[in-house]
Amino acid sequence: MRFFDSDNQVTLNELKEMAAGIFGDLVKGVVDVKREIMVLDAEMHSDEEAALLDSGSNQSDLWGINLHPELEGEEFVEFDSLINIRPSQENRSRNVEDPAIRKRIFEIVSRLVIA
């Protein structure tokens, strides 16, 4: 499991290696939309979520995603995780339902993943 921020980005090749190591075609991740950081490369979103909480993140700012290093554009980021089920934030499914939050996550991921 690794943390990424503006000073420590991840390359597409590193993502491909992470994907090959666990799931083959995807890398699980959790993004903190307030701190603009993410954790990648664990078997479960909940483990990444716990690491971010331990580092000072707030639950309400954390969203689970899957990155597909072989895909491009909007298909690169999948907004699907059990940790996203949050009725208290009007998110009642595994998907990130708020388009503004999805956009924010995509922007953060786009800054933290480099070619």
Residue-wise pLDDT tens digits, 42-95: 999 999 999 999 999 999 999 999 999 999 998 999 999 999 999 999 999 999
10-11 and 113-114 beta bridge pairing: parallel
The dihedral built from the CA positions of residue 52, 3, 12 and 9, taken in this order, carries a sign that is: positive
Q: Where are the domains of the chain?
A: 2-114
Tokens of 66: 């899957």
CA pair distance 86, 59, nearest whole angstrom: 10
Question: In the structure, what pLDDT confidence band is assigned to residue 103 with cuts at 50, 70 and 90?
Answer: very high
The pTM score is 0.96
Q: pLDDT digit string (tens) for 60-73?
A: 999 999 999 999 99
Residue with tokens 């990648």: 40
pLDDT band at 115 (very low <50, low <70, confident <90, very high): confident
